[in-house]
Chain A
Amino acid sequence: MFETVLIANRGEIALRVARTCRELGLRVAAVYSTEDRDSSVVRFADQAVCIGPGPARHSYLYLPAIMEAARQTGADAIHPGYGFLSEQADFAEACEAEGLTFVGPPPSVIDRLGDKSTARAAMADAGLPLLPGTIEPVSDAEAVAKVAADIGYPVIVKAVAGGGGRGMQVVHEPDNLARQYREIRSTAQSLFGDDRVYVERYLPSARHVEVQVLCDSHGNGVHLGQRDCSVQRRRQKIIEESPAPGLPRGLVEQMGHAAVRGLLAAGYVGAGTVEFLVDEQHRFYFMEVNCRIQVEHPVTELTHGVDLVREQLRIAAGERLDMSQAELTARGWAIECRINAEDPARGFMPTPGRLTALELPAGPFVRVDTAAVAGGRISAAYDPLLAKVCVWAPDRPQALARMRRALAELTVEGPGVSTNRDFLLTALDHPLFVAGTHDTSLVDRLTDPHTREES
């Protein structure tokens, strides 16, 4: 095992990783920008290094600064968390070059699976079902029109280098295709520096179901069940649960095995997630692979009793998985709600600012992952995630009741600061969500007055 782990991240995930490192007896090295000087992980860490000013591109995304911090702290491993540099093959390569262990898959695997085109090809080769569409990027408007006509509208045009819900557009009408194709290419170029796009059929009422996988460096892989992340606003998840409600047991196993097979075939090492869309007929289609720990990982930890960050570190240290698929069964039900500092009444505009009061939910079977403290500040420089409130219960109705209770305990106060708490409560009470039959259109039903009546 390692001696010192540098955590190349901030906020709740940096603190969450630091806690497991401490439990494993590893020295914790944190990095921070000038914005985060007073952050929780800086206080928690054994050592902390200031790596740059607030803007992420000059600090958390700035490779030379992170590598210098690793050198200064004598780290022998780097945990990238999620976002920032976590899925940059260059970063994993730089770690290798400096003799550091990158806690994640090998750079070549990140490269292949981070590019949606090669990822789709790899998963198709491993026998995973794909939505009708192109595997190779489509390079001109005419070709796109032909493909779209073949697979039928609506289609979704996605950036090959996209991810995290950015760099994609749904095209409903052939008349709009040429314009939207141009738009998405220019967006992709500016966001990812890569304007290649591909096309696939768009499922308006699909569910977003993902499978958590662990692969060690000895060719063993297991899955830890599913997470349903269908409650999304503009493709950003806000409520996640494990297991996925209402899926037949056979399908759960089929998807789990497909995910493990796909990642092992790709040479994956570490914790990874395979995202699928599931349609009304319970057919599933591969969507993408996330080569990192995910924001919503706690719901899997709660249902499976496994510390995923501990497993990441053990795997990175070359140890073997010490669990078999047969031992891994989901117990009960877990739900996560993402509390964002944003104002639903003003188009979900972020509301950064100082927190004058913060009371977090607690009590039986409640877990809150946060780096926020009363007196601290939600920075405008980063994403507005304030806390992840997670609950566990023996079944879904009890988990829902527990989540309502927990959210009601939350108090966040500060000048100009508001949260999406009440919006989450509304979503939790929606008949479709209560019934577990909702799909990715749920939030639109809540926010779009046009469709509100029919819900």
Chain B
Amino acid sequence: MTSLIEPAPTDGAAPLAEALDEVRRSAQSLLADLGHRPRALRIRAGDVVVEMEWTEQQQAPAATPPAAVAAPPARPEAEPQAPPPPPGIGISSPIVGTFYRAPEPGATPFVSEGDHVRRGQQVGIVEAMKLMIPVEADADGRIVAVHATDGAPVEFGERLMTIDPQAG
């Protein structure tokens, strides 16, 4: 009964749209992890290849301010942006929920800053509706920062830790 939202794909359109989507998502996460912008980027998913190059001046065109919505009220989240995350590979929350650094209250945390981790090693837990979802390291390396505190509410995709892969 979700048909209003996901109409039957028109013939031929869906695979292309999905592939494009896949490319865009891959590019976004790759760029997010890099921390700086490369001069060129080439991504392939299925039959779709996207190539981009950045000019030295990296100003994105200013988005036209939204016309349909009145000025938003002050929001707690609208505070000044946090400083950019340290360079390295981010470990993101796999789900919206509560972040735990240790397997149970009072236990030793899975990892601490300075620890070496292997790709796939569990570094935390996010609890969502009593589901315990493991958080795993995305790469071999050293934990250089833990951004979320134990018991904190986290959103999907929020950076929980940063790994320095060079230090692996």
Q: Are A373 and B157 in contact (CB under 8 A)?
A: no
- Nearest A residue to B69, CB-CB: A40
- Nearest B residue to A372, CB-CB: B68
Q: Given that A47-B75, A63-B129, A349-B10 are contacting pairs, would A52 and B4 also be in contact in the complex, using a CB cutoff of 8 Å?
A: no
- Chain A interface size, under 10 / 10 to 19 / 20 to 34 / 35 or more: 35 or more
Q: Are B129 and A383 in contact (CB under 8 A)?
A: no
Contact residues of B between 1 and 49, Cβ < 8 Å to A:
1-8, 10-13, 17-18, 20-21, 25, 28
- Judged by a CB distance under 8 angstroms, whether B111 is at the interface is no
- Nearest B residue to A62, CB-CB: B95
- Judged by a CB distance under 8 angstroms, whether A374 is at the interface is yes
Complex CA–CA separation, A52 to B25 (angstroms): 13
- Nearest B residue to A55, CB-CB: B21
Q: Given that A380-B17, A381-B21, A383-B7 are contacting pairs, would A47 and B76 also be in contact in the complex, using a CB cutoff of 8 Å?
A: yes
Complex CA–CA separation, A358 to B69 (angstroms): 13
Mark interface residues in B71-109 (1 if CB within 8 Å of A CB, else 0): 011011100000000000000000111100000000000
- Nearest A residue to B3, CB-CB: A164
* Residues from chain A with Cβ under 8 Å of B64 in the complex: 373-375
- Judged by a CB distance under 8 angstroms, whether A69 is at the interface is yes
Q: Are A373 and B68 in contact (CB under 8 A)?
A: yes
Q: Are A59 and B68 in contact (CB under 8 A)?
A: no
* Residues from chain B with Cβ under 8 Å of A373 in the complex: 64, 66-69
- Judged by a CB distance under 8 angstroms, whether A447 is at the interface is no
Q: Are B10 and A350 in contact (CB under 8 A)?
A: yes
- Judged by a CB distance under 8 angstroms, whether A109 is at the interface is no
- Judged by a CB distance under 8 angstroms, whether A371 is at the interface is yes
Q: Are A358 and B67 in contact (CB under 8 A)?
A: yes
Q: Are A347 and B10 in contact (CB under 8 A)?
A: yes
Q: Are A65 and B68 in contact (CB under 8 A)?
A: no
Closest Cβ of chain B to A344, distance in Å, is 11
Q: Are A43 and B95 in contact (CB under 8 A)?
A: no
Complex CA–CA separation, A174 to B112 (angstroms): 71
Closest Cβ of chain B to A381, distance in Å, is 6
Q: Are B3 and A165 in contact (CB under 8 A)?
A: yes
* Residues from chain A with Cβ under 8 Å of B5 in the complex: 56, 60, 83-84, 382-383
Complex CA–CA separation, A374 to B158 (angstroms): 27
Q: Given that A50-B158, A72-B153 are contacting pairs, would A88 and B73 also be in contact in the complex, using a CB cutoff of 8 Å?
A: no
Q: Are A347 and B11 in contact (CB under 8 A)?
A: yes
Q: Are A51 and B76 in contact (CB under 8 A)?
A: no
Complex CA–CA separation, A82 to B11 (angstroms): 25
- Nearest A residue to B21, CB-CB: A380
Closest Cβ of chain A to B6, distance in Å, is 6
Q: Given that A43-B66, A47-B77 are contacting pairs, would A69 and B6 also be in contact in the complex, using a CB cutoff of 8 Å?
A: no
- Judged by a CB distance under 8 angstroms, whether B52 is at the interface is no
- Nearest A residue to B18, CB-CB: A380
- Nearest B residue to A352, CB-CB: B17
Q: Are B129 and A67 in contact (CB under 8 A)?
A: yes
Contact residues of A between 29 and 47, Cβ < 8 Å to B:
33-34, 40, 43-47
* Residues from chain A with Cβ under 8 Å of B98 in the complex: 68
Complex CA–CA separation, A67 to B95 (angstroms): 12
Q: Are B96 and A51 in contact (CB under 8 A)?
A: yes
Among B3, B10, B77, B131, the most chain A Cβ lie within 10 Å of the Cβ of B3
Complex CA–CA separation, A48 to B5 (angstroms): 21
Q: Given that A52-B95, A83-B2, A383-B4 are contacting pairs, would A64 and B66 also be in contact in the complex, using a CB cutoff of 8 Å?
A: no
Mark interface residues in A339-382 (1 if CB within 8 Å of B CB, else 0): 00010000111101000001010000000101111111000111
Complex CA–CA separation, A45 to B12 (angstroms): 37
| Candidates A61, A114, A347; contact of B2 at CB < 8 Å | A61
* Residues from chain B with Cβ under 8 Å of A165 in the complex: 3
* Residues from chain B with Cβ under 8 Å of A83 in the complex: 1-6
- Judged by a CB distance under 8 angstroms, whether A236 is at the interface is yes
- Judged by a CB distance under 8 angstroms, whether A295 is at the interface is yes
Q: Are B128 and A348 in contact (CB under 8 A)?
A: no
Q: Are A49 and B96 in contact (CB under 8 A)?
A: yes
Q: Are A166 and B97 in contact (CB under 8 A)?
A: no
Complex CA–CA separation, A116 to B73 (angstroms): 44
Complex CA–CA separation, A150 to B20 (angstroms): 50
Closest Cβ of chain A to B108, distance in Å, is 26
Q: Given that A65-B95, A68-B128, A82-B4 are contacting pairs, would A48 and B77 also be in contact in the complex, using a CB cutoff of 8 Å?
A: yes
- Nearest A residue to B98, CB-CB: A68
Complex CA–CA separation, A34 to B73 (angstroms): 22
Closest Cβ of chain A to B52, distance in Å, is 14
| Candidates A40, A52, A163, A382; contact of B6 at CB < 8 Å | A382
Q: Are B131 and A64 in contact (CB under 8 A)?
A: yes
| Candidates B4, B7, B69, B96; contact of A68 at CB < 8 Å | B96
Can you report 6 A-B residue pairs in the complex whose CB atoms are below 8 A from each other? A43-B72, A50-B155, A64-B128, A352-B17, A370-B68, A375-B64
* Known pairs A52-B156, A63-B129, A373-B64 / 17 extra A-B pairs, C-beta < 8 Å: A43-B69, A47-B75, A47-B77, A61-B2, A64-B129, A65-B95, A65-B156, A67-B129, A84-B5, A163-B3, A166-B8, A295-B4, A342-B10, A348-B10, A374-B66, A376-B63, A383-B6
Across chains A and B, which 7 residue pairs bring their CB atoms closest together, nearest first?
A164-B3, A375-B63, A83-B5, A83-B4, A64-B129, A373-B66, A50-B155
Interface residues of B (CB under 8 A from A): 1-8, 10-13, 17-18, 20-21, 25, 28, 63-69, 72-73, 75-77, 95-98, 128-129, 131, 153, 155-158
